[in-house]
Chains A and B, each alone.
Chain A
Amino acid sequence: MSSDYEISDDDENYYVDDEDMIDGTQDDDEDDIDMDTFGDDFKVASKSKRKSYEIDYESLSQTAVEELMQSDVDHICGIFGVEASTAALLLRHMSWNKERLIEKYMDNPTKVLVAAGITVEEPLSPPAPIRSHCSSASASSRRPTRSASKLLGLASGSKSPKSPSFASPPLKATRPPKSAPFVCPICYDESPDLRPLALDCEHPFCSGCWIAYASSKINDEAEHTIRCMAETCALVAPDAFIRDLLVPEPGAPAGDPAEEAANAATWARFQELLVRHFVASNPNLKYCPYPSCTNTVSCPAAASKASLITTVPIVSCGARGIGGAAQMSQSQQLSIGLAGKEHKFCFGCSIESDHRPVVCGAAKMWLKKCEDDSETANWIKSNTKECPQCMSTIEKNGGCNHMTCKKCKNDFCWVCMGPWVEHGTAWYSCNRYDEKGGVEARDAQSKSRASLERYLHYYNRWANHEQSAKLSVELYAKTEKKMEDMQITSALTWIEVQFMKKAVEEVEKCRMTLKWTYAMAYYLAKGNEKELFEDNQRDLEKAVEDLSELLESPIEAENIPTLRQKVTDKTVYVQKRNEIMLEDTATGFLEGRWKWNAAIEGFDVPEKTEY
């Protein structure tokens, strides 16, 4: 994984140790985990340091997950006395639920083997059955098709029932009778050098067709269950069969390099699909959603739905930036804001970013609402507005909400369009929705108008923080160049010009927090708790706007020392405010302090809805 991230002095170091992780996951026994990690200084320290808005989790590489899979496979091999490839297919068939597999297999092994596509179904009245308890039912997905098999006796007529065999070599070159040369039933090729291959069902197809078929399933359909190509045959190709198709044997004569590269990529994709299936089957695990990242996060603390009303399980897979597989230049990554970005995502829901402090249920509800109401709200997102004084069009180009009209020099707030002077003083009310309108609404029409306005109030601020965060990063890209030039021309050291980077990162982070606080506030029931929440929100917002404004001040070599002092102080303050916001909200969830005005997933339905 390539990463162009530069290490800055006070960045949190993330400790990754594959060995420890394997021990810590998968195990249901809590005591075992504690025993394993006992005495590890780092872990003990990190545990006591963990903040109320953070959650314990571990990051696993693809190899580490494969080792977990292998240990399950070994376990099943030991119990059933079957080959590893059989154990793997059985586990996949049962979605890696070992207990259920053992139970079902002990009850009727043939039934499970047939359903998993490992052995061919035995005939109902066998002349000389080796295994007598054969089942008529089959749960395989490709069963007699609705109509084709009725009219055509296609492949099924030539099929001869087979008895199960575990130890047969995966690749079986079937020898056709000498009289009839092999013609592949798919590509109709009849060249004598054709290599016919079949699974245990002995339905032969040429190796070229097998490769094309497996590649299509794996690459086009993201399918890891590769069934025999014969109609109504439900046998599944074992991994070794797929590997032999796609990976040339050592010492084999070199083929077409482009073809071999494509097959190697398909084999890698196949292995990734197996890992994804295993991860998806285990509630303690989640696959990193970032493009071309193959890491997994283990977070047993957030595995249950019930945990999601007290915690917001934001995790990180440990990687940064975009993986080498995605062909993207550093500047391209920078322009879409992904350069060196930590792979943060929510373990509890499908939101692929940090939505703290608000819980998953409310965050999802808010996003759904925004999607439904996007038509109405679109105009606010627009980047241009009119100056409230002279009506000339003003474009927002930095992250700061303090706007100064170029024409009439009017100072106003981008969010509420009110005069900026009111925002600089002790009373700062831009974050709080004026509820009088709602109370006074009498008839239905004005009520629905009031409800739309209430929504727009929160949405407006939500969208603005998102937009401002983006603009701050863009602005910084320009500043960064200037700072680097300055480092060359002045006596400043590299470390001394890093303060802007740190500040921009902080602003971006805090704007994300602020963004989600508006989603949360929209659903918070009116009352003292909500007021305290909005007080914290206001303090953070004020601090962020101040820092944002500082970042837009002109940079000259001579004012750098003063600017640096100011920016650093403000950054520390902003950090503190963000900490308070997150801590208090998270503690509130643990205490069950927050009351909602709407039915949020997992929470009790509020008796009355008061906004």
Chain B
Amino acid sequence: MDARLRRVNKEIADCKNDKTSNIKIDLIEESPFHLKGSFPGPEGTPYQGGHFEVDIVIPESYPFQPVKLKFITKVYHPNVSSASGAICLDILKDAWSPVLTLKSTLISLQSLLCSPEPNDPQDAEVAKHYTTSKNSFEDTAIYWTQIYAGGPGPKEKKGKASTARETRDEIAIAGLERAHVEQFEALGFERSKVIDVLRRLNYRGPNVAKLSEDRVVEELLK
């Protein structure tokens, strides 16, 4: 039997038999070389309670070349592209070793969710959000976990009307802070437009990246 096939089949079987880890590997079609991995978001992180799915492609020269992984589930994380799901992780590149397995790689991915590396980002905008305003970043990450990964969502804060919650949600998806959006809304601009412009300018408050309020207003007037 082809060595690559034997190895992948054994890896899939080992993963099935292992009842202690939460890692799952499933076939997408009949091919054992295109798989779907999944794992729960780590406890104590904004990803807690979410279920994350990963697309796995086994290259021709596996295990001598690394597997190709990308998130199917949308993840708000500095080392994951918010648009494509592409992942920046050393063992998927130069630090790959043929002794690593699909399971160990997925565990590494899970642990990447615990410890973001904003200095080596995949998504520069998310990384900037992470470094400049951690709380706001976590709000967005929790929200993404809720809507994309089936997470529990933010802890209920008392006394909020449903419309206010909806607004907060829109802002959270865009990775912005409510106070910033409201500030420009108060100037008479439409909320959706404010969110659009602030997101495009990557606005994190007036002192960050020398982005003045005038500059934002200028964009809003366009």
- Chain A residues in contact with chain B, CB under 8 A? 141-143, 145-148, 150-152, 154-155, 185-189, 205, 208-209, 212-213, 216-217, 220, 229-233
Contact = CB atoms under 8 A, between A and B. Distances in A.
Contacts of B89: 146-147
B50 interface: no
Interface of B: 3, 6-7, 10, 61, 63-65, 89-91, 94-95, 97-100, 104-105, 107-108, 111-112, 115, 117
B91 to A, nearest CB: 5
A183 to B, nearest CB: 11
Contacts of A231: 97, 99-100
B3 A154 contact: no
Nearest to B109: A147
B3 A230 contact: no
A154 B104 contact: yes
Contact of A147 (B7, B10, B61, B112): B112
Contacts of B3: 187, 189, 208-209, 212
Contact of A186 (B7, B61, B94): B7
Nearest to B65: A216
B99 A142 contact: no
A189 to B, nearest CB: 7
B115 A217 contact: no
A209 B64 CA distance: 8
A212 B100 CA distance: 16
Given A142-B97, A220-B61, A151 B91 contact: no
Given A154-B99, A213-B98, A145 B91 contact: yes
11 contacts: A141-B94, A142-B94, A185-B99, A186-B99, A187-B7, A189-B3, A208-B3, A209-B3, A209-B98, A229-B99, A231-B100
Nearest to B104: A152
Contacts of A229: 97-99
Interface centre among B7, B89, B91, B98 (most CB of A within 10 A): B98
A188 B115 contact: no
Contacts of B7: 186-188
Contacts of A186: 7, 63, 98-99
B114 to A, nearest CB: 8
B161 to A, nearest CB: 42
Contacts of A213: 64, 98
Nearest to A227: B97
B43 to A, nearest CB: 14
A145 B65 CA distance: 16
Nearest to A213: B64
Contacts of A230: 97, 99
Contacts of B90: 145-146
Interface centre among B3, B10, B89, B104 (most CB of A within 10 A): B3
A230 B65 CA distance: 14
Contacts of B91: 145-148
A448 B180 CA distance: 42
Given A148-B111, A155-B97, 16 more contacts: A141-B94, A143-B95, A146-B90, A146-B91, A146-B112, A147-B112, A148-B91, A148-B108, A151-B104, A151-B108, A187-B3, A187-B7, A188-B6, A213-B98, A216-B64, A231-B100
Nearest to A186: B98
A107 B26 CA distance: 54
B95 A150 contact: no
A229 B99 CA distance: 7
Contact of B108 (A147, A205, A208, A209): A147
A146 B120 CA distance: 11
Contacts of B117: 146
Contacts of A233: 97
A446 B188 CA distance: 42
B99 A150 contact: no
A566 B153 CA distance: 89
Contacts of B100: 148, 154, 231
Interface centre among B90, B99, B100, B115 (most CB of A within 10 A): B99
